[in-house]
Amino acid sequence: MIKNVPKASINKRPFQVFKEWTVDESSYPFISASNESGLFDTSSFNTQNGVYTYPLYKSIQNKYYNQSANPFTVFGEIENFANIATERRVSDTIYVLSLPQTKYGEGIKKKTLTLTDKDTGLIFADDGNSNIVSNVPLYGITNIDLELATITITDNEGDIFVGTITSIDLDSGIAILTFGSDTDSVLVTQIDLENSQITFPVELDFDGIQIDIQKYGNIFYGDGVIIFNNIPSITNYEMNYRSTQTIYENEILITAKAGEFNYSQNPSAVDVTVARTYKHPITRRRNYFPAGIRKIKEVSDIKRKEFFTGSFDTTVSGSWNDYYDSASIDPTGSFITTYISTIGLYDDAGDMVAVAKLPTPIKNLPDYDMNFIVRFDT
């Protein structure tokens, strides 16, 4: 028994799923690539982990850092193409980590990547805009003069900002700073004079002044590529992130109309041998079909029978409106009703492509439509 499912009863919904990953240098080491001069020669140019570093540098430079304001020739996300020269800056030496697609799917999920340099303890993260930054806001510090009460900060763009220190509490780390015409109370979490860095728990926000936090490179989510600039080599690291994959939920509404799928396809149950004097064991009505092999549906067609007598308890009889009473006496209910336990889905060629199993077989009542919803992911 097969029926077509109308297209209106088929729905397909996409949704994204994410998987957490942890990788380190043992599986995916960073490759150091430098801008070398001269024509490429396999005999004279450097290799690392089997990769020629000069062609790697040039391909990275042309694909991601070509300084073009044309969105069709620059890969990766850019906040503002007018600022591409400051958003995408490549140094003469870069450190490249490229993940296989099996490890990132359709792309690395934004703001999920953290990378810990196990040698220095520094923790890097992506900011959701294709930049690699410190996991806490970090700025370059040029000078702190407590006698003159001034602080000089250099941001990621190389701009220098000179502020005034109204007060600073070395125990609590709370400082009152003035940049431009705006005075604000900020919390200083670390001052590293050796590396010329100052760290705050949140980004500095002074009216009329934009002090950009330090950026260490870029991440290209859709390509699974992480690039570091202007930092020492990263040889020991641990990186955590989430990959992205789109899955489609297929939902099919299947309707068994009243009277459909109401007899078994089991050969031992479908075919019966009848004679002219045959009396149906349920209805006790004489069968007027010619003798021979007949389908049970032809013999026990509800529309042809006005009365029945229960096969389990012959005291139960009446019209088909009393069907439920009979079913309560006949525990199997099998004298007329089939049970739906499995639904098969077929393609246009008639090949079965999916099977849905019901947790409990459902009695197919003769006078009700029955709806089934089949869901599966692809």
> CA-CA distance, 208 to 349, in Å (whole number)?
69
Is the C-alpha dihedral spanning 291, 294, 296, 300 positive or negative? Answer: negative
In the predicted structure, residue 370 carries a pLDDT above the cut 80: yes
Q: What is the mean pLDDT of residues 346-366?
A: 88
Q: What is the mean pLDDT of residues 310-329?
A: 47
Q: What is the pLDDT of residue 44?
A: 59
Query: Please, which pLDDT band fits residue 314 given cuts at 50, 70 and 90?
Result: low
Calculate the CA 200 to chain-centre distance: 33
- The predicted-structure confidence for 138-152, as pLDDT tens digits, reads as follows 888 888 888 889 999
Min mean pLDDT across 13-22, 100-109, 210-219, 238-247 is at: 210-219
Q: What is the DSSP string of 236-259?
A: SEEEEEEEEEEEEEEEEEEEE-TT
In the predicted structure, residue 313 carries a pLDDT above the cut 60: no
pTM over 0.95: no
Residue written as token pair 């202007």: 230
In the predicted structure, residue 352 carries a pLDDT above the cut 50: yes
Q: What is the pLDDT of residue 159?
A: 83
- Of 114, 97, 96, which Cα lies nearest the Cα of 20? 114
Query: Please, which pLDDT band fits residue 348 given cuts at 50, 70 and 90?
Result: confident
**Coil, strand, or helix at residue 178?**
strand
Calculate the CA 18 to chain-centre distance: 4
Query: Please, which pLDDT band fits residue 291 given cuts at 50, 70 and 90?
Result: low
Q: What is the pLDDT of residue 117?
A: 92
The residue that leads in pLDDT, 352 or 36, is 352
**Coil, strand, or helix at residue 181?**
coil
Q: What is the DSSP string of 98-155?
A: E--HHHHBTEEPTT--EEEETTT--EEEE-SSSEEEESS-EEEEEEEETTTTEEEEE-
Q: What is the mean pLDDT of residues 330-338?
A: 53
Q: What is the mean pLDDT of residues 243-258?
A: 92
Calculate the CA 361 to chain-centre distance: 34
In the predicted structure, residue 333 carries a pLDDT above the cut 50: no
Count of residues making up the chain: 378
Q: What is the pLDDT of residue 290?
A: 53
Q: What is the pLDDT of residue 20?
A: 97
Q: What is the mean pLDDT of residues 164-178?
A: 89
Query: Please, which pLDDT band fits residue 126 given cuts at 50, 70 and 90?
Result: very high
In the predicted structure, residue 82 carries a pLDDT above the cut 70: no
Query: Please, which pLDDT band fits residue 350 given cuts at 50, 70 and 90?
Result: confident
Q: What is the pLDDT of residue 112?
A: 96
Q: What 8-state DSSP symbol labels residue 221?
A: G
The residue that leads in pLDDT, 136 or 265, is 136
Q: What is the mean pLDDT of residues 175-200?
A: 88
Q: What is the mean pLDDT of residues 21-40?
A: 85
